[in-house]
Amino acid sequence: MVAGFEDIDEGEIVAGDKVLSSKSRNYYLPPEKRDFGMVFQAFAVWPHMSVYENVAFPLRVRKLPAAEVERRVREALAHTNLLGVAASRPDDLSGGGKQRVALARALAIQPVVMLLDEPLSSLDPHFREEMRFEIKDIQRRLGFSILYVTHDQSEAMALSDRILVMKNGVVQQVGTPAEVYFHPGNRFVFGFIGLSSFLRVSFAGGGIQVGDAPMPLAVADSAPAELVGTGEAVLAVRPTDVDFVSEGGLRGVVRRRSYLGEIVDYQIAVGAQVLRVQKLRYEAGPQAGENCGVTFARSNWYPINETGFM
């Protein structure tokens, strides 16, 4: 709908002060007049054309003068580090190189807005990380806006000035990466952005329990009074906000301990529930099968019956 490939059922789409679609005004601007660049998930470069001709094609369709086409193509290739392979075919390039061609082609039209639809999902991890920083660098140098669709939270956090989290077409939260990560608007956002654990807890007699396991009162003190009054709640924590303690804490058993390079990942069984913990490799921690105690440096609380989420 933003690109103009589909029209809207209601409302308006506006870029700056330019109306693109308006149901109430019965107005629809065709895609080719929106001055938007688009990069697709599957590259969508033409294999029978050289890198240069791929980038030049949309400019020739616009019937721009030859000198203007030459200038814009060379600028776009320079911005994407493709000048040295301008005469090559896309099939001679890596996946990252093909995606650079698609990016250069979108840049050449000098877009007001760039639409990127999962542009890095088909690349291997090395190229994905490399292209992530290149896209951000190009955006900062040229100053256009990017609407970037991704299911990769790390991409969203690394690239965005502002993140919009959606579920089933409904906006859940809009904010900076830090706001969305540290102050999630609801349980769905907490679970969607970053790794998370959810423990169902009960309040009784001034205490708090996870199943049959008692939890230190210091954790209960952070629970909102309105949730304590309901008798039950969901405690949400990040794996990196959990610390091991030799005595006290919430008691559990290490069900699995996995070495992930710089990180050691633990699954702690607390009764029938599972808590995820991640610590740096040089930090002391229990072995698989051992009993342990944990405390929480930071926690979020949600109602048991928060409908529509998770």
How crowded is residue 45: how many other Cβ atoms within 10 Å of its Cβ?
23
- The Cα–Cα gap between 136 and 126 comes to 16
Task: Show the low-confidence residues of the chain (pLDDT under 70).
Answer: 216-221, 307-310
Residue with tokens 């049959």: 212
Provide the pLDDT for residue 171: 93
Residue 122 contacts residue 149 (beta carbons within 8 Å): no
The single-letter code of the amino acid at 136 is: K
Superfamily designation of domain 197-302: Nucleic acid-binding proteins (2.40.50.140)
Would you tell me the crossing angle of helices 51-61 and 95-108 to the nearest 10 degrees?
30
Residue 257 contacts residue 288 (beta carbons within 8 Å): yes
Provide the pLDDT for residue 308: 46
Provide the pLDDT for residue 12: 95
- The Cα–Cα gap between 290 and 48 comes to 61
Provide the pLDDT for residue 216: 66
Local structure of 11: helix, strand or coil:
coil
Burial 143-161 (b: 16+ CB within 10 A, else e): ebebebebeebebbbebbe
What is the tens place of the pLDDT at every residue in 276-289? 999 999 998 999 99
Render 51-82 in DSSP notation, one character per residue.
HHHHHHHHHHHTT--HHHHHHHHHHHHHHTT-
35-161 domain in CATH 3.30.1300.10?
no
Per-domain boundaries in the chain:
35-161, 197-302
Residue 110 contacts residue 36 (beta carbons within 8 Å): no
Provide the pLDDT for residue 196: 92
Provide the pLDDT for residue 44: 86
Residue 107 contacts residue 100 (beta carbons within 8 Å): no
Element spanning 153, H or E: helix 153-159
How many CA atoms lie less than 13 Å away from 93 in the CB half-sphere?
A: 27
